[in-house]
Structure 1
């Protein structure tokens, strides 16, 4: 059972070395995540699971909780199809975004992916800047990004679109596919290897669930219609879920995101815009802002046409967003520390003698 979800000797060694290892604890993989429950795959089969009270107490943030793709250490409950999650095995990779809400908090979209398929449709949804945002998160995750341009049968300029995305994604494979016409399956073969986990991410309506059904030759996910005149569609996938597919690979389907809110992705930003970062190395001043400074190599590239203005605008926009996010995170962390210090001071200053009478 576990091998079908990617279990191997490396994970076995991590499990054997985990602290608090006991005979009644077994490994499992999180295959689906709901509001307060998880579905997991263990050697005894599929179980529903919840985290233990100790796990909840020790979790410092939302990202400390299990996510789809995590390997977990669980205790199956005798005579039931339920289990208790006690801890996580270390994550190899994790795609993270900023969670919805006014308080800065990270949310793990998926864990332990080998490859991340960034899906964008060749219809009205086609947007190179959107692909760049996903690439920032993908490089930060540690997984290998691949851009899939779906619905290629609806586009008359496929080669042009591929070239545009390749220019915006240096070093990243860019593949055009059509599930309807069964185009491009062979190009995906190098990534669909036994034991490998592929996560599929992108906006709603780009064809993620159709891609899953196509590669599995089965109706794994329900697919809803889309108005191709404006590329507006409804979310088909309502939760993240893992699917073991023929050929031995595992795919993770995720709900469509209207906008990917980036989180702590400085390294991913530099990797996604590596071409601009390389140009910046030739600037006269180390702290060049690529504005009005003399000897700016980035501005020179814009003037001679070797750097696209749209890409530079995207570079600046995401850079400002990440800097703003970092400031907000630091502010929240400082307030949290001050609040904790005040609570600690109140506890340590309290003494029963304060309430004694003569």
Structure 2
């Protein structure tokens, strides 16, 4: 029996919110943003499904009464919505995303690696131990800001720290726009303290290095122990890779949770706006410098250096700001160059093929 998708469209009468029930697709994160990209007829012929896992040779898709795999698509990532073409699965359409997390892929080939799509909240997780790293947290938050995803810092293992307040103060100093939550990942606190962001139909992601408790937090929200976890190394508090691929988990009666492998390297690219949002205080100070091209080093009338001299700005924050801006500019330029070369190469190949065809026609 064909499904009726007319209720997803703005023209349909809106039911009383008290009587409204979450449909199977809405429970998977389907929203009007995606409805507006298609039509009722298209939804009948190619039903919407969500990518919950990306394997080397297949995409795992879930929808309303659908659990399927299709050949991998280069442009698809975990969290994407796809209009499933049952006759030609490889021709299934990937819908425009509300948000996208991406990074420069490790290595020297100047590629973009997609992390996840259509995420509402990014829980940036760190432990209160020697692995705590402000610069790493800032990278994840800049990534979230750029994608217009709500970032929340989650500090785990505070019960094991001698002075947990020190970690809390450092995390709060990153940005006034980012809430900071401390909790015990193994108990009921994750459900209680993260409930405001984990509502039905919402998609959240746990980001952070290995061993900070991302899989433990996912298990806590799901109320299961299905995801394997490992203890950190005792000598340096570094984590071991337990999660090996990005996967969306459906939490009964709640949100969808993305558990991600720890990323040893998070190279930023195309996140200039995210960095500006993260360091809004420095950008505001820079606008009051005497010279517009002030490098904030030894120039007269530098408001940034004045703030450092007065103790209002930590000089290490300025150092991290410079490093992120330089890295982002370099990576973005490198990737733009790669795209330009790929485009030129494709044009050259098409030209050669065209000449061969013309030559063949002439000889015939």
Is the CA contact 1:123–1:228 (under 8 Å) kept in the aligned structure 2? Answer: no
Q: Distance in 2 between matches of 1:35 and 1:76?
A: 21
Query: Are residues 1:338 and 2:347 paired?
Result: no
Counterpart selection for 2:251 from 237, 240, 245: 245
* Of 53, 61, 66, the match for 1:32: 53
Residue 58 of structure 2 corresponds to residue 48 of structure 1? no
RMSD: 2.4
Cα displacement (A) at 1:345: 4.5
**Counterpart in 1 of 2:359?**
352
What are the Cα deviations for residues 69-128 of structure 1, in whole angstroms up to 9, with x where unaligned? 111010236xxxx95551111100111111123121211111001101111111121111
Match of 1:6 among 4, 22, 29: 29
Q: Secondary structure at 1:168's aligned position in 2?
A: coil
Q: CA deviation at 1:249?
A: 1.0
- Give the alignment of 1:90-129 within 5 angstroms: 90-129=96-135
Q: Which residue of 1 aligns with 2:138?
A: 132
Structure 2, gaps ≥5 residues long: 1-23
Determine whether 1:75 maps to 2:98. no
8 A contact 1:153–1:181 mirrored in 2: no
**What displacement does 1:186 show?**
2.8
- Aligned partner of 2:153 in structure 1 is 147
For 1:189-204, what aligned pairs fall within 5 Å after superposition? 189-204=195-210
1:298-328, Cα deviation, whole Å (9 max, x unpaired): 1111111111111111111111111211231
The reply on whether 1:272 has 2:282 as its aligned counterpart is no
Q: Does 2:331 correspond to 1:325? A: yes
| Residues paired across the two proteins, number | 340
1:238 to partner: Cα distance: 0.9
1:258 aligns with 2:264: yes
Q: For each residue in 1:38-92, what CA deviation from the matched residue of structure 2 results, as whole angstroms up to 9, or x when unmatched?
A: 11112223211225xxxx6xxxxx5xx1111111010236xxxx95551111100
Could you say if the C-alpha distance between residues 356 and 46 of structure 1 is closer, same or farther in structure 2, counting changes exceeding 3 Å? closer
C-alpha spacing 1:229/1:153, structure 2 compared with 1 (3 Å): farther
**Separation in structure 2 between the aligned mates of residue 202 and residue 245 of structure 1, nearest angstrom:** 20
Alpha-carbon distance change, 180 to 300 in structure 1, aligned in 2, over 3 angstroms:
same
Deviations along 1:9-63, whole A, 9 cap, x unmatched? 443343327xx93743111001111112111112223211225xxxx6xxxxx5x
**What is the CA distance between 1:337 and its match in structure 2?**
3.7
Matches of 1:137 and 1:22, distance apart in 2: 32
User: C-alpha distance in 1, partners of 2:45/2:90?
Assistant: 11
The match for 2:171 is 165
Does structure 2 conserve the Cα–Cα contact (< 8 Å) formed by 1:120 and 1:203? yes
Match of 1:59 in 2: none
Where does residue 290 of structure 1 map in the other structure? 296
Change (3 A) 1:156 1:246: farther
Partners of 1:25 and 1:101 lie apart in 2 by 38
Q: Which deviations, in whole Å up to 9, do the C-alpha atoms of 1:181-214 show, x marking residues without a partner?
A: 5446433121111111101111011100001111
1:333-354 per-position Cα deviation (integer Å, ceiling 9, x unaligned): 3333433343344455564389
How far the C-alpha of 1:331 sits from its partner, in A, is 2.6
Aligned to 1:233: 239
The match for 2:221 is 215
Contact 1:49 1:85 in 2 (8 A): no
Q: Structure 2 length as normaliser, TM-score?
A: 0.86
Instruction: Tell me the secondary structure at the aligned position of residue 41 of structure 1.
Output: strand
Instruction: Choose between structure 1 and 2: higher strand proportion.
Output: 1
Deviations 1:207-250 (A, max 9, x none): 00001111222113111222244212221111111111133211
Cα 1:333/1:68, change in 2 over 3 Å: closer
Shifted more, 97-106 versus 28-37: the winner is 97-106
